[in-house]
Structure 1
Amino acid sequence: MATVLVIGSLLGGTGVARAGAAEIPKGFLLTEPAATAGPIVEDEEWWKISNSLSRQFELNPCGTKGKPRDGRAAMRTITYSNSAPSGSSEQLVLYRSTRSAQAAFRKLRADLARCPRRATAKGDTGSGFGYVGKPLRVGDEALSVSGHLYKQGKREREPAELGIVARRGAALFFYTDIGNGLGAGKKIVNQAKKMTKKVCDLPGVCG
């Protein structure tokens, strides 16, 4: 999820995401019922649902751009933001094979090591934003990720963003939270654990 929240009001793309034999049924993601219901407080909360295969991962440590070509078969991303400001996201990516999902997970893990910090402004090496990842026992493999702001070359102790990326079979799924403090960490871990079981209800994902 981007470290700067973009506030906008859009709700669309709520049909079935599919490519070939793979599909994500409507209403499958954990946050989808709330997203399709819309904001509780108008002009204070914003949901967006996208089935685009060309989106970057919600955790994108190197700020990669362009259209990914990593064997994706179906994808759904749900983002939430509010005027606090704070936000969260849920993203499910189905791959054509377990091998492709494994490769995507390895690349993300490598990107976390390759891009520990990005400058937030051109030529400003004293400030920036970067992720720190550590293994997590969820699914077949997973990482717990914290995103930190840097000021004068020093990393702020309190994370600005928390995230989970996990793989189960041929699926990757992401949960992120911005602006809700360390307490949100338990929530997104529990979400990832729920999806670890639920994603196996989809044909071909868990073998």
Structure 2
Amino acid sequence: MPALLEDPTTTLPAPPAPKSLTPIKTTLKDSTPITLYPITTGPSSLPASLIHYLHAQFSQEIADGCTYPMEEAMGFDLYQNYWFGTFAVVAVVDDEAYPAGLEEGRDWEKVCLGTFYVKPNYPGRCSHVCNGGFFTTPAARNRGVGNVMGRAYLEVAPKLGYKYSVFNLVFANNVASVKIWEKLGFQIIGRVPGAARLANSEELVDALIIGRSLVE
């Protein structure tokens, strides 16, 4: 759900992440304990093997051609700055079998469940409106990870100073994603007819614009 004015080669200025942001511990619907780690200091703060794994997963997401508008995968350097250069969260399994942390050497295929970023959707006087990009990994399938990351997004975005959230390109045939956001209080505030040529549809697919206030 890329920002409206966003190009992977550019980055809009974003507010600094407050020091009060700490890892979020929760459980999946199968009772697996997980931790969502805020990434506030860029890709250099993450294990290289984890970024390579997430880059491969995101590249496959683009190749599948169903959820993101890009037609070609990004190179590694571009991806790591695009995804982690502003603010991001990484969700991993943390239990007795897989000790806590984002240390080098973990089996990311088993423990990494997904990631999301938070960025300004517009520049300047409208930069208090944010946008998020999300994807889950194969280890997350049918475990409710999308819903957990959505709740975490709603927790961290206001702490970053954002007042409203808008997702510009939620494709109408991505029913699971639409259901998650509606369950979390988002509303469809617009529609772009025939916005996308997707691999899972013979017809052009509408893009939904989904928004929600982040202010109580």
Higher percent of residues as strand: 1
Higher percent of residues as helix: 2
Check whether TM > 0.5: no
Q: TM-score, normalising length from structure 1? A: 0.31
